[in-house]
């Protein structure tokens, strides 16, 4: 929980992941053999295997959704645009932090009592919103919040009830925290861990990582959508809170290796770990780029369900989080001892004709 809390309190909007990267690097450098930052900003760690059976990659992305400063009004309001996919309906009234100095602001819009009826019946567009930082002149706002500065949600990590937490950036600081814990162990296979950049704006960092490492098998650890809320029918649920980590069969970017999916599920059953399958095929994550790098990689995604994802107040069950960590520990241990499956991984790219 210590790692997760600290990670979610760091701002790292896509393209500005430096502070997240430095925190992770400092925390893991004592438990890995090599660590480097590539040209696009991905953090890559390596632990040599005791037997070097194959190359296995664990991957999670460091970036979060947010905004960027695009202009100003003459009365000192800051104009902005989203970085990554954000539901604009949740934005009015939300607190934000701008730039490295953490300039405080509030997202505002035309007051409802001044809106025409047709305006009140429509979702307010981001282009009609602004950020109020307490200035009343354009030049004052420009000095405090420069053009191109990144903007992050201002949201504190909070425990909810007996099992849940609320925070920003659970997608995907939850995955980062789990991988950081997994790096404390050493296995027979060569283990790589990538903490990627710019996932929220096109899976960019993972494309570079997949090509560099060229792994035999890869697991992407994610925070994923959870829709078990009032107004949604049960058959529309993507995942459910408290039902365990999520295995993805297919989404918009990747089709997981079927044998790998079965291996994960069987491992969960063997170790009595609750697990669920993602029931929708929308969205995507870094697995999509890693799967198609070089000559192809066996990939699978294991995720933690998060309600209100891509908002300042995502909600996650710690039972699901701990279950995801336990499942990955079990999967890595099983891969180490299962020689038959190890051969399948190594021979996966061979075709005898």
The C-alpha angle with vertex 329 and arms to 326 and 334, in degrees rounded to 5, equals 125
For CA atoms 303, 331, 195, 100, the dihedral sign is positive
For residues 44 and 213, the answer to whether their CB atoms sit within 8 Å is: yes
Phi first, then psi, for residue 163 (nearest 5°) are: -140, -20
64 carries an active-site annotation: no
Q: Which residue has the tokens 């989203």?
A: 82
Which is catalytic among the residues 17, 64, 149, 199? 199
Q: Count the neighbouring beta carbons within 10 Å of the beta carbon of residue 134.
A: 12
Q: Could you tell me which of 330, 313, 337, 316 has the C-alpha nearest to residue 156?
A: 313
Report the helix count and the strand count for the chain, using DSSP H and E.
10, 17
Q: Is 50 left (phi over 0), alpha (psi -120 to 50) or beta?
A: alpha
- What residues does 37 pair with on adjacent strands? 43
CA–CA distance, 222 with 305 (Å, rounded to integer): 9
Neighbouring-strand partners of residue 14: none
Residues marked as catalytic: 199
């Amino acid at each position: 929980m210590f790692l997760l809390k600290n990670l979610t309190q760091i701002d790292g909007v896509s393209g500005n992941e430096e502070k997240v990267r430095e925190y992770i690097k400092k925390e893991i450098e004592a438990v890995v053999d090599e660590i480097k930052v590539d040209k696009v900003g991905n953090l890559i760690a390596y632990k040599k295997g005791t037997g070097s059976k194959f190359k296995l990659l664990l991957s999670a992305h460091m970036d979060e959704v947010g905004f960027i400063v695009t202009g100003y009004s003459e009365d000192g309001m800051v104009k902005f645009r989203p970085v990554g996919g954000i539901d604009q309906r949740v934005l009015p009234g939300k607190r934000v932090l701008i730039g490295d100095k953490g300039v405080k602001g509030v997202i505002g819009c035309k007051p409802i009592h001044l809106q025409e009826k047709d305006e009140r019946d429509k979702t307010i567009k981001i282009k009609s919103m602004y950020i109020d930082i307490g200035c009343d002149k354009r030049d004052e706002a420009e000095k405090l919040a420069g053009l191109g500065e990144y903007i992050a949600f201002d949201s504190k990590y909070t425990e909810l009830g007996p099992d849940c937490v609320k925070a920003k950036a659970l997608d995907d600081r939850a995955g980062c925290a789990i991988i950081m814990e997994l790096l404390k162990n050493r296995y027979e296979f060569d283990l790589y861990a990538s903490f990627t950049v710019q996932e929220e704006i096109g899976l960019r960092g993972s494309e570079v990582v997949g090509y560099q490492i060229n792994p035999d098998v890869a697991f992407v650890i994610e925070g994923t959508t959870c829709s078990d809320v009032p107004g949604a029918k049960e058959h529309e649920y993507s995942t459910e809170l408290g039902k365990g980590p999520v295995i993805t069969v297919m989404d918009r970017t990747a089709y997981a290796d079927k044998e790998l999916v079965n291996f994960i599920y069987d491992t969960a059953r063997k170790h009595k770990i609750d697990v669920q399958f993602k029931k929708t095929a929308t969205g995507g994550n870094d697995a999509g780029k890693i799967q198609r790098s070089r000559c192809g990689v066996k990939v699978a995604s294991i995720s933690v369900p998060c309600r209100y994802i891509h908002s300042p107040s995502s909600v996650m069950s710690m039972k699901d989080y701990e279950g995801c960590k336990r499942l990955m520990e079990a999967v890595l241990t099983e891969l180490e001892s299962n020689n038959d499956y190890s051969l399948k991984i190594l021979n996966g790219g061979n075709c005898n004709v």
